[in-house]
Structure 1
Amino acid sequence: MSRRSTSAWLHTAIYWFLGFEFFVGFATKFWPGPTFFGPAYSEKFAEWGLDPNMRFVVGALELIAAVLLVIPRRQTRFVGAAMLVLVLTGAVTTHIIDDGAIYEEVSAPLHLAIMFVVALVNWPADWRAVVPLRNRMMSR
């Protein structure tokens, strides 16, 4: 296996792992009862002073971003990572205000830093490359 193919394989594996992590996040947000992370997310969101149904919005954003991360295009990975930067900024803020478990206090900021790096790595050379449909319409 050449060095380049090993590197490409490793990058793909990292994106799939991150996508899987956020897919699990989506699944636990939609799960009606307790999860392996503790009580049901409807209870957690209510505890944090949020509408319990917001878990569906956050879970859906995590699912969309997870799918975008595994698509092997820089633009989609950038959009997925940027979405997660926004979602995780809310999570970090929530966990700073709330005195939660240590894994919650560490996990959200760690994932925020990782997604920030992923967004930077996939940053488009031209911002218009993120929305290619609009580019085609503008060039006519």
Structure 2
Amino acid sequence: MPTRVWSRRLRTAFYWFLATEFAVGAVTKFWSGPTFAGPAYSVKFAEWGYPTWFRFVVGALEGVCAVLLVVPDRRPRFLAAATLVLVLTGAVTTHIVNHDELYQSVAAPTHLVIMAIVALANWPADWRDLLRRSPRLPSTTGDAR
């Protein structure tokens, strides 16, 4: 198989892996009880000084971004990565301000760097490309316009 095909498949698998990680993170934010990573996020957010409902905002952002990461287009991937850079910047800052243990604070900065790279890799040629509609696909119903 040509190298280009393997490269594309590897990149697609990487995006699916990241999307799965953020989807699991989103589900744990909505989960009411303890998670595999420790106490419930309602408890964690309260300890960090945030209102407990804020975990739903973060979880929703992570969930939407997880879906956008697997859309095979540069625009949604860039928007997802840029949004996650903002969310992860808040997470890293929270861990630093609260003096969390190192083992608790490794995932957020690691994912922040990865999402920054993904955002740069999918950076639009022109910022107005983010606002433009995708080119319309030809109709398959025989409707010639």
Deviation string 1:87-116 (CA, Å, 9 cap, x unpaired) is: 000000000011223232111111000000
Structure 1 CA distance for aligned equivalents of residues 84 and 132 of structure 2: 21
Partner of 1:101: 101
Structure 1 CA distance for aligned equivalents of residues 34 and 92 of structure 2: 22
Partner of 2:65: 65
Amino acid at match of 1:78: F
State the aligned residue count: 136
Structure 2 CA distance for aligned equivalents of residues 67 and 121 of structure 1: 18
Shift of 1:46: 0.2
Identify unmatched segments of 5+ residues in structure 1. Answer: 134-140
Q: If the length of structure 2 is used for normalisation, what is the TM-score?
A: 0.90
Amino acid at match of 1:71: V
Deviation string 1:47-75 (CA, Å, 9 cap, x unpaired) is: 00100110000000000111110101000
Partner of 1:16: 16
Partner of 1:121: 121
SS of 1:132's partner is: coil
Provide the aligned C-alpha RMSD in A.
Answer: 1.7
Deviation string 1:9-60 (CA, Å, 9 cap, x unpaired) is: 0000000000000001100000000000000000000000100110000000
Q: Pairwise mapping of residues 38-77 of structure 1 onto structure 2 (< 5 A)?
A: 38-77=38-77
Q: If the length of structure 1 is used for normalisation, what is the TM-score?
A: 0.93
Q: Is 1:34 the equivalent of 2:71?
A: no
Partner of 2:136: none
SS of 2:105's partner is: helix
**Hey, which bits of structure 1, 4+ residues long, moved more than 4 A?**
none
Amino acid at match of 2:111: H
Amino acid at match of 2:27: A
